[in-house]
Amino acid sequence: DFMEIQALQKQVDLWIQEHGVRYFNELTNMAILTEEVGEVARIIARRYGEQSEKESDKTKDLGEELADVLFVIQLGGSKSISNRLLILNALFENKITLKNLSDAEDTDLLKQALETDNEVVDIHHAGTAMRFLTSYLSLLKKEKILTGSERMKQRPIGILVDALRSMGISIDYLENQGFPPLKIHPSSFKTNKVQMQADTSSQYLTSLMLIGAKLPEGLELELIGTITSLPYLEMTLTMLNELGIEAKREGNLITILPKKECNSQNFTIESDWSSASYLYSLAALSENCRIEVSYLFEKSLQGDRRVADIYRENFGVETDFRKEKIVLTKIPNFTYPKKIELNLNDCPDVAQTIAVTAAALRIPTLLTGLHTLKIKETDRITALHNELKKCGVETLPTQDSLELISFTSPSSRPSIDTYNDHRMAMAFTPLALFYPIEIKNEQ
């Protein structure tokens, strides 16, 4: 209880004053420290040691100061940024030193594929790797077979293959037309100009943009129609510019100039906002919380940064942006909306998280702009419909939307199928704050 905690704190204080101060003073003077140990050492030495303490520091609570350092969730780097950088690094002879690389399986599979000399490249469930590698392998002038899991063989790739064929690349389908596996033959790009539908998956477009600077005359990519998933295209353009590659978008025309070499440089990868969305869901469903997450920035390359605004406006979760981290807290006496309507065209990867949060709080919700969810690791719209039903939620799914209509309590413990899709497992897990659930195949 509180009295016991106070007693323990007093014991810690006495030990530090009698024995520990000199060690903390020495730690602050060491040349090599982890960021966390160094900051703890400075706080303790300032409070109890010989270092001077500012008047403003004397009012700070020691426990809160230490918690700010020690209890920060370390998320892996953004998968979207990491995967783009892995392709670019391979194209430019690994001149980029990457910090905070994503630890996601998709990123690991892409890294392995880029390092192998095997003729057959198997990327299992990694959809991003399939799309990015299709263009990358087309540059190598080697015969390659690109394949994946049974689910991957059901995910279309024809739009990208058609674009590459129109530019002179020879690619065959080994099983079903328009789907992996692919056989990429040694061939050369005959033109730098290509047209693609603007409402197609941004990963098809990004796949070509990433190799654009390595084409003899660069790349001119004309987008036909209304652009969707614009934040992902802007992310790619910004990254290219940061690496010294001239790339720009004027209306529906993307132009990337050729570049033979890239200067050696360091790149710190921001943490993944879509991964952070599950922590936002936990915050929204908790009675009270304080969650700190590292390497997330207010000015972000990621479209999923929008999750901070969505959860503040609809679920009462406040985001405090600090140096290299965020702090999540609940807004006191928050009034929930009677209905939520969101177009997630620019951040579809957080749709599952938002749907489950709204379902738990029993807020009628209409999510639109979800057309790309049909071709993800699973048909995510259908998967959400099936699994929310187990939780007592009636939904209306379409090809590009999902509406949460009515809510009842589940009659038994829901057993959630994950469909080999990590976002299904992660999105439904916060429901455990409300009632027991089972996540199947959680690994």
Residues marked as catalytic = 349
What are 300's two structure tokens? 């972000």
- Biggest alpha carbon distance in the chain? 77
Bridge pairing between strands 120-122 and 144-147: parallel
First to last CA, the chain: 37
The dihedral built from the CA positions of residue 311, 317, 319 and 325, taken in this order, carries a sign that is negative
Instruction: Kindly state the DSSP code that residue 322 receives in the 8-state scheme.
Output: E
Provide the 3-class DSSP secondary structure of residue 192.
Answer: coil
Task: Name the helix (H) or strand (E) containing 356.
Answer: helix 351-360
| Triad 248, 252, 255: Cα angle to 5° | 30
Q: Could you tell me which residues come within 8 angstroms of residue 142 by beta carbon, excluding any fewer than 6 positions away?
A: 119, 186
Integer CA distances (angstroms), 245 to 85, 195, 214, in order:
13, 21, 10
What are 436's two structure tokens? 């027991």
* Residue at token pair 């730690």: 27
| Per-position b or e across 346-363, b if 16+ CB within 10 A of its CB | bbbbbbbbbbbbbbbbeb
Q: Pick from 261, 360, 349: which is nearest to 314 by CA? A: 360
User: Helices (DSSP H) in 16-61: which residue ranges?
Assistant: 21-29, 35-48, 55-58
Task: Name the helix (H) or strand (E) containing 130.
Answer: helix 127-138
Provide the 3-class DSSP secondary structure of residue 336.
Answer: coil
Q: Pick from 380, 337, 300: which is nearest to 127 by CA? A: 380
CA distance 84 to 192: 20
What are 61's two structure tokens? 């609570």
CA distance 111 to 313: 38
Number of residues assigned to the chain: 443
What are 84's two structure tokens? 């783009």
The CB density around residue 299, as the number of other CB atoms within 10 Å, is 7
